[in-house]
């Protein structure tokens, strides 16, 4: 079992090294086999560990030893890490398999490079969730940031992709700093890095140290999970290829913050302010992102904002202490958002990389299979029964509502409004891009080619999971709760619902979200209400949303511009002060050398003359000395 | 040596100077009853031999490339 736990990491590592070093321009077929193959191999390892009910902290060797500071290389296998591994290798495997078809137009070198990066990303993500101590966690955390940088900037010949990659990296590094400082505070205060020794050492009553550590870790979490105010990188990250968006920006990487809070739940349970901050940031981000998604026209950007919004729900859940509700939504979101991205990827692929929804239309007619799967994902995102999104979102909101205090009701209400908005923008995406007649601006006028089988099968698998996955946990209708039961050994008991009112709240949310989904039909198909009319009436609102609440402009004004000016100042001073000095030294040396070079006449006899003169002077000096 | 322009003659001049120094060294050594001068004369002979070898080798090489009569023609290394 010990070797098997390590094998989960070794398979993707071997795949990345093989593709990156040995198969750089080698066989395409081999690349297409190895790239997804190693992730499925890791998936099998996870399944075997799960089947044997392993729950242990495997220590392999001592990694760092310096005085009393000792970091082991250990892998923590428990139900939480196995749950995350299932999502990463399962959904990740489907996405990488899908990429075999999606990336087929790339050159041989780019093809291998893509799968190399994907395997390295999965490796880093697995390190992040399997790490048994905070130092190893940071390795995974930074590795995920690096590989997402590489994947977002995959099309490195596109300027916008490079800028987006840099932005994502800078934002992630801000989070990394918070993360490292948080781990540092924990070590300095409790002298432990291994989770299983650290958590029992934590106090149960709130104090300044735990609050500080929890806030610093939260900075790492919100940067990685694109929550306010470190969210600006996620929409721009849509520059990457669509499978990357599905893998990183929907299924795995952005959920790292949720995992972090769940993993450190003994710490967050011991705090008041940091824990509440998680819930508030989550709720506000959910509403914020959903409102921006209303007006975006790029289909991947709509999906990106809905991702932010759904991650907000997860933060809300873990922030009010409903950890397994948050992780259930994480699982459900991995299913339906990867599905949405990949179904949208089929469309983008067929329309020659056009992502603007205004150029779409007629897809229901031309690409029936992708459209059906997209509809399943949309309904799940909108939270319509019986799709997985309904059960998981209801679970989150139900836990918030039954908490029964001010914070619970406040975040519930924001979540409720967000759910209605989600129904509306999802409906807009569905009716506007898929259902309406083909747009005249569509890049491909005739019949569209449906995606190849290798791209359809993973989408179909996810569509099935999205449809039936909700029945893992049907607390909404008072049934069983398999996810809660599975995670109980790590996260503890979930609260029992005592308040009967939350079922009423559930029905209200469901009905209003469904109505909003349907109302979008009136907007974009029947034209009962015209979007243009609303825009005319509320133009300023649309502008604010289209400019994404001016966050990019604010950061530009607050950070980029002042730093730019500082750089300009130092540049000028460098030129006038330091460069001039250096240039002068060079100029004087050159002039002096010019003068001295006159002595190198090249005439042998002149050298002899100088030599003789020197001897004469020396002789005179010696004689003069001797005589005096 | 200062007024000669034939490189071979210049070498001979150097040789003459060294021998003059040798003579001086031996003479003073005898006069002052000090053996070091004689040792130094032996040193000088060695140096003179080495100098002749290197100098003649350079000259042979130069003569192979071109017909040289005047050392002032060798001014390519002018700074």
Q: Is A353 left (phi over 0), alpha (psi -120 to 50) or beta?
A: left
Query: Does the residue B14 lie in any domain?
Result: yes
Structure tokens belonging to residue A615: 């001897």
Query: Does the residue B41 lie in any domain?
Result: yes
Structure tokens belonging to residue A593: 């050398």
Residues 547-606 of A with CB under 8 A from B: 596-605
Taking the CA of residue A587 and the nearest CA in chain B, the distance in Å comes to: 18
| Model pLDDT, residue A406 | 80
Q: Which residue of B has its CA nearest to A608?
A: B2
What is the rounded average pLDDT of the residues A125-149?
90
Higher pLDDT pick, A458 / A473: A458
Q: How many other CB atoms sit within 10 Å of the CB of residue A536?
A: 10
Q: Which of A600, A605, A609 sits opposite B79 (nearest CB)?
A: A600
What is the rounded average pLDDT of the residues A256-274?
88
| Model pLDDT, residue B26 | 92
A608 contacts in B (CB within 8 Å)?
1-2, 10
Contacts 24+ apart (CB under 8 A), A520-529: A520/A424, A520/A425, A520/A426, A520/A427, A520/A428, A520/A430, A520/A431, A520/A432, A521/A427, A521/A431, A521/A435, A523/A428, A523/A431, A524/A428, A524/A431, A524/A432, A524/A436, A525/A431, A525/A435, A525/A436
Give pLDDT tens digits for A496-539.
Answer: 665 667 777 777 877 877 777 777 777 766 666 666 666 667 77
DSSP A106: S
Cβ-based neighbours of A140, under 8 Å, separated by 6 or more: A124, A125, A126, A127, A128, A129, A130, A131
- Which pTM does this prediction carry? 0.77
Give pLDDT tens digits for A388-422.
Answer: 888 888 888 888 888 778 888 888 888 888 888 88
Q: Which of A597, A599, A605 sits opposite B71 (nearest CB)?
A: A605
Query: Does the residue B1 lie in any domain?
Result: no
B71 contacts in A (CB within 8 Å)?
603-605
Contact check, Cβ <8 Å, A609/B2: yes
Find out whether A451 and A101 touch, Cβ atoms under 8 Å.
yes
Q: Is B70 on the interface with A (CB under 8 A)?
A: no
Residue among A93, A112, A94, A92 nearest A32 (CA) = A112
- Per the structure, the complete domain to which residue B22 belongs is given by 7-67
Contact check, Cβ <8 Å, A601/B1: no
What is the rounded average pLDDT of the residues B16-27?
91
Contact check, Cβ <8 Å, B72/A601: no
Q: Is A65 left (phi over 0), alpha (psi -120 to 50) or beta?
A: beta
Q: Which of B5, B7, B76 sits opposite A602 (nearest CB)?
A: B76
Q: Which of B1, B10, B78 sits opposite A600 (nearest CB)?
A: B78
Find out whether A316 and A257 touch, Cβ atoms under 8 Å.
no
What is the rounded average pLDDT of the residues A449-469?
82
Taking the CA of residue A593 and the nearest CA in chain B, the distance in Å comes to: 10
Query: Does the residue B48 lie in any domain?
Result: yes
Task: Please tell me the total count of domains within chain B.
Answer: 1
Secondary structure class of A298 (helix, strand, coil) = strand
Taking the CA of residue B16 and the nearest CA in chain A, the distance in Å comes to: 15
Contact check, Cβ <8 Å, A602/B5: no
Query: Does the residue B72 lie in any domain?
Result: no
Q: In angstroms, rounded to a whole number, what is the distance separating the alpha carbons of residues A122 and A116?
A: 10
Contact check, Cβ <8 Å, B75/A609: no
DSSP A107: -
Query: Does the residue B73 lie in any domain?
Result: no
Query: Does the residue B11 lie in any domain?
Result: yes
Q: Which of B7, B10, B75 sits opposite A602 (nearest CB)?
A: B75
Going from the C-alpha of B9 to that of each of A283, A612, B13, the distances in angstroms are 102, 17, 6
Phi, psi of A451 (to 5 degrees): -65, 155
Give pLDDT tens digits for A361-392.
Answer: 777 777 778 888 888 888 888 888 788 888 88
Contact check, Cβ <8 Å, A598/B79: yes
Is this complex scored with an ipTM above 0.90? no
Give A620's pLDDT tier (boundaries 50, 70, 90): very high
Query: Does the residue B24 lie in any domain?
Result: yes
Going from the C-alpha of A144 to that of each of A133, A137, A218, B13, the distances in angstroms are 17, 11, 17, 81
Contact check, Cβ <8 Å, A604/B74: yes
Q: Which residue of A has its CA nearest to B10?
A: A605
Q: Is the pLDDT of residue A71 over 80?
A: yes
Taking the CA of residue A583 and the nearest CA in chain B, the distance in Å comes to: 23
- Side-chain half-sphere CA neighbours of A143 within 13 A: 21
Q: Is the pLDDT of residue A471 over 90?
A: no
Q: Which residue of B has its CA nearest to A607?
A: B2
What is the rounded average pLDDT of the residues A36-52?
89
Secondary structure class of A546 (helix, strand, coil) = helix
């Amino acid at each position: 079992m010990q070797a098997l736990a390590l094998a989960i990491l070794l398979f993707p590592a071997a795949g990345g090294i093989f593709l990156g070093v040995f198969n750089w321009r080698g066989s395409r077929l081999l690349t297409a086999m190895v790239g997804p193959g190693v992730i499925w191999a890791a998936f099998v390892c996870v399944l075997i560990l799960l089947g044997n009910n392993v729950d242990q902290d495997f220590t392999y060797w001592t990694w760092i030893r310096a005085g009393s500071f000792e970091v082991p290389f250990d892998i923590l296998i428990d139900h939480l890490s196995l749950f995350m591994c299932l999502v990463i290798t399962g959904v990740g495997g489907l996405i990488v398999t899908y990429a075999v078809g999606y990336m087929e137009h790339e050159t041989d070198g780019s093809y291998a490079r893509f799968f190399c990066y994907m395997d390295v990303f999965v490796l880093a993500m697995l390190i992040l969730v399997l790490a048994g101590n905070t130092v190893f966690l940071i390795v995974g955390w930074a590795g995920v940031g690096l590989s997402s940088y590489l994947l977002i900037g995959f099309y490195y010949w596109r300027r916008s992709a490079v800028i987006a990659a840099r932005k994502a990296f800078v934002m992630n590094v801000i989070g990394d700093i918070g993360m490292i400082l948080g781990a540092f505070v924990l070590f300095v205060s409790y002298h432990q890095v291994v989770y299983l020794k650290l958590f029992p050492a934590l106090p149960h009553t709130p104090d300044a140290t735990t609050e500080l550590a929890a806030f610093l870790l939260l900075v790492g979490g919100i940067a990685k999970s694109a929550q306010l105010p470190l969210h600006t990188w996620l929409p721009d990250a849509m520059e990457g290829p669509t499978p990357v968006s599905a893998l990183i920006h929907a299924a795995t990487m952005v959920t790292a913050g949720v995992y972090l809070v769940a993993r450190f739940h003994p710490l967050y349970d011991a705090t008041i302010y940091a824990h509440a901050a998680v819930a508030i940031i989550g709720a506000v981000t959910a509403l914020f992102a959903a409102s921006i998604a209303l007006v975006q026209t790029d289909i991947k950007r709509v999906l990106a904002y809905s991702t932010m919004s759904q991650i907000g729900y997860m933060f809300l859940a873990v922030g009010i202490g409903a950890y397994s509700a948050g992780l259930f939504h994480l699982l459900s979101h991995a299913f339906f958002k990867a599905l949405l991205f990949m179904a949208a990827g089929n469309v983008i692929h067929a329309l020659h990389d056009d992502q603007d929804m205004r150029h779409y239309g007629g897809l229901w007619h031309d690409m029936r299979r992708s459209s059906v799967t997209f509809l399943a994902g949309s309904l799940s995102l909108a939270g319509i029964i019986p799709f997985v999104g309904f059960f998981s979102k209801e679970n989150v909101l139900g836990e918030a509502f039954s908490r029964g205090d001010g914070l619970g009701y406040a975040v519930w209400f924001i979540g409720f409004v967000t759910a209605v908005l989600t129904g509306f923008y999802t409906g807009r995406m569905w009716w506007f891009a898929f259902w309406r007649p083909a747009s005249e601006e569509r890049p491909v006028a005739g019949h569209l080619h449906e995606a190849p089988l290798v791209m359809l099968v993973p989408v179909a698998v996810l569509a099935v999971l999205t449809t039936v996955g909700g029945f893992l946990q049907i607390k909404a209708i008072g049934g069983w709760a398999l996810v809660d039961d599975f995670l109980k050994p790590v996260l503890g008991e979930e609260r029992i619902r005592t308040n009967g009112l939350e079922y009423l709240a559930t029905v209200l949310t469901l009905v209003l979200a469904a109505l909003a989904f349907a109302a979008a039909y009136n907007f974009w198909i029947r034209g009962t209400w015209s979007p243009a009319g609303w825009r005319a009436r509320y133009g300023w609102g649309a502008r604010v949303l289209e400019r994404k609440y001016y966050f990019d402009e604010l950061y530009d004004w607050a950070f980029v511009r002042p730093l730019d000016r500082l750089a300009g100042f130092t540049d000028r001073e460098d030129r006038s002060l330091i460069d001039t000095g250096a240039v002068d030294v060079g100029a004087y040396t050159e002039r002096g050398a010019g003068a001295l070079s006159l002595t190198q006449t090249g005439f042998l006899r002149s050298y002899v003359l100088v030599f003789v003169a020197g001897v004469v002077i020396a002789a005179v000096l010696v004689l003069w000395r001797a005589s005096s | 040596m200062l007024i000669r322009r034939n490189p071979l003659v210049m070498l001979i001049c150097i040789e003459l100077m060294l021998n003059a120094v040798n003579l001086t060294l031996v003479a003073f050594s005898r006069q002052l009853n000090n053996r070091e001068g004689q040792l130094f004369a032996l040193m000088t002979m060695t140096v003179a031999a080495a100098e002749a070898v290197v100098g003649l080798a350079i000259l042979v090489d130069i003569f192979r490339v071109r017909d040289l009569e005047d050392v002032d023609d060798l001014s390519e290394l002018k700074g």
